[in-house]
Amino acid sequence: MTWFLGIDEAGKGPVAGPLVVAAFMHNLGHDNPLPDVFRDSKKLSEKRREAAYEDHVMRLVREGHAAVYVQETPVEIIDELGMEGAWRLAITETVAKCVEAWPEVGLVMIDGPRMPNRDQLTKDVQRLMTFRAAEWPMYERGLAALKRYGRFLVKADDLIWYVSAASIAAKVYRDRAMTTFWHHKYPEYNLAQHKGYGTKQHTQLILEHGLVPGLHHRTRVPHKARNRAVWRDEK
């Protein structure tokens, strides 16, 4: 039985919170069993996105036709590598783990313009030597799997249903994390409302309460707060 794998991310745009990459695996072939309105998660309202996730994505999981895997990349890695470096690492790790768990994978469709470059990925891992060096064999497997099975397509989350499913899974997971764990930990930033995006309200709250290491991205501070906000000491 051949499994098809769709991958997308959520969290490239915000200035706070993790990057989340989700994989949606299915064994249904090329036929789309989902409604025609099932598209890029960012184009759906939060209510419709939650309904699509529970009523359609998880229904296929419960019926045994699909599986969902989620990879969360913390802010510390985003700060060290930049968003694109963190994305390269997360995509490669996700593919490595999924192909290991589901060796019947025959095609990996990823929303994005290009495959991670091996030399650049090597540099990314070297910059994280203290806690990632031992994992290099996993990234090697991920790159090999990407070379063999991977296809990158811009707007894949809008064109291919199982990438759309991954997009919805990633967005739902991240939004839930921001509205529960992160909002409860730092209620003064009202993360449940803006989910870490650099909104006017979020910028104002940063100016009032400061920036939090491990929550706010050091390289992505809102412009209006960049020279005025103070980093908090969370030790």
User: pLDDT tens-digit profile of 65-94?
Assistant: 999 999 999 999 999 999 999 999 999 999
CATH 3.30.420.10 domain extents, the chain: 3-179
Percent of the chain with pLDDT over 70: 93
Q: Cα 55 to chain center, whole Å?
A: 21
Q: So what's the pLDDT on residue 133? A: 64
Does residue 41 surpass a pLDDT of 70? no
Q: So what's the pLDDT on residue 171? A: 96
User: pLDDT tens-digit profile of 44-64?
Assistant: 888 989 999 999 999 999 999
Threshold 0.85, pTM exceeds? yes
Q: pLDDT band for position 235 (50/70/90)?
A: low
Q: So what's the pLDDT on residue 23? A: 97
User: pLDDT tens-digit profile of 183-199?
Assistant: 999 999 999 999 999 99
The amino acid at 194: H
Name the fold adopted by 3-179.
Nucleotidyltransferase; domain 5 (3.30.420)
User: pLDDT tens-digit profile of 19-34?
Assistant: 999 999 998 876 777 7
Closest CA to 139 of 154, 158, 151, 122: 122
Q: So what's the pLDDT on residue 130? A: 62
24 CB-near residues (< 8 Å, 6+ apart): 5, 6, 7, 57, 66, 67, 68, 162, 163, 165, 166, 169
Does residue 129 surpass a pLDDT of 90? no
Site of tokens 């789309």? 32
Closest CA to 107 of 163, 149, 139, 141: 149
Tell me how crowded residue 177 is: count the other CB atoms within 10 A of its CB. Answer: 20
Q: So what's the pLDDT on residue 30? A: 67
Q: So what's the pLDDT on residue 35? A: 66
- DSSP element (H, E) containing 167: helix 161-177
- At 191, give phi and psi (nearest 5°): -65, -25
Distance CA 138, CA 155 (A): 28
Closest CA to 31 of 9, 60, 7, 52: 60
Pairing of β 19-26 and β 66-73? antiparallel
Does residue 110 surpass a pLDDT of 90? yes
- Over the range 22-59, which residues count as b (16 or more CB within 10 Å of their CB) and which as e? bbbbbbeeeeebbeeebbbbeebeeeebbebbeebbee
